[in-house]
Amino acid sequence: MTNRVSKCCALLLVAASLAFLNGCLIVPVPAPTRTSAPPELKNKIDIKFIQPGTTGRKDVEEKLGWSDVGINTRKVFWGRWSTSSSALIWGFGGYGGGTGGADRNWSIKNIVVDFDENGVVQSWKFVAESDIVQVMRRLAEPAAGRFDPPLEIEVGHVRRAVEHPAMVVLSRSSFKFIDSGEKPEKARNFQIAPQEIKSISIPKIAKADARFPSTIRFTLHLTRKTRAGQDITLAGDAKTLMKVIEYQMAVSEKQQAGGPVMPPKGASNGTLQPE
């Protein structure tokens, strides 16, 4: 048993003892590193091989291809994974008994690698979750005509930290939200004009949710309140978020060009009306 593991076990025993003696306790302790990398990598993710001016795209894809989010362009590679090297030890109780346990602290890593015209690494950096939208806007290819006919996308609707099945329908004239997991009388369905999506941001990710890097939660900030609220948090993969970003960018381009964006039927009160 390594010294590190021995120390972790000792800390676990101390934390558990204190928890039961004092009523409750939450203590962060170091733990063996775990990642979402393939088992053959044994939780070791090597990025030291990336050298600007030397490393080629083929090398990056061979060593980090397992983390590819699937929306990379010819000049950019984006990898994403989860990692954990600590845990929270918790306990509740007292002299008469109690309960306790441990939960890992997970976090997300995003690496963005830029290549030159010859496919050689130009630069690379880790990107914070809060900067994901900015990165995706750089990779996006907006085109207003892309959403005619409308594009239907299945998403998760995050309410009180729980994801519920839902769908968004992106069209040139409207943005529809359909909360398919709700009963008709309780559904939070609504339909608004595309330009009523004011902005998109990435909320702070919960440590437990960070264990699953394939899912990205993002919040749509609307210009007014709808049946689902004014700030709506959805969940999907990177491609889902990219399409929503491209949609908003396409609408913005159309507005800047002076093109009309007609308000949808039923948009006056934010509810979804049959067309």
The answer to whether residue 132 is domain-embedded is no
Same domain? For 68 and 38 the reply is: yes
Same domain? For 244 and 150 the reply is: yes
pLDDT of residue 262: 43
- The domain that contains 255 carries what CATH number? 2.30.29.30
Last residue of a domain, one of 103, 127, 151: 127
Same domain? For 143 and 242 the reply is: yes
183 and 202 Cβ atoms separated by less than 8 Å: no
pLDDT of residue 22: 52
Same domain? For 80 and 194 the reply is: no
The answer to whether residue 113 is domain-embedded is yes
Same domain? For 68 and 190 the reply is: no
Same domain? For 82 and 182 the reply is: no
Same domain? For 185 and 83 the reply is: no
The answer to whether residue 133 is domain-embedded is no
Same domain? For 87 and 172 the reply is: no
The answer to whether residue 134 is domain-embedded is no
pLDDT of residue 265: 45
DSSP state of 66: G
The answer to whether residue 206 is domain-embedded is yes
pLDDT of residue 98: 58
pLDDT of residue 199: 95
pLDDT of residue 269: 43
107 and 207 Cβ atoms separated by less than 8 Å: yes
Domain containing 31 equals: 3-127
Match 């109690």 to its residue by tokens: 98
Match 């941001």 to its residue by tokens: 201
Task: Please count the other Cβ atoms lying within 10 Å of the Cβ belonging to residue 100.
Answer: 17
The answer to whether residue 274 is domain-embedded is no
Last residue of a domain, one of 95, 127, 159: 127
Sheet holding 151-159, edge to edge: 190-192, 175-178, 162-170, 151-159, 229-236, 216-226, 197-201
Q: Per the structure, how many domains does the chain have?
A: 2
71-95 pLDDT tens trace: 878 899 999 999 998 876 655 555 5
Same domain? For 113 and 148 the reply is: no
The answer to whether residue 255 is domain-embedded is yes
Model pTM score: 0.79
Alpha carbon separation from 178 to 153, 183, 193, 199, 233 (Å, rounded)? 10, 11, 15, 20, 13
Intervals of the chain under pLDDT 50 = 1, 5, 11-13, 15-16, 18-21, 260-275
Same domain? For 262 and 151 the reply is: yes
Same domain? For 146 and 257 the reply is: yes
Same domain? For 218 and 265 the reply is: yes
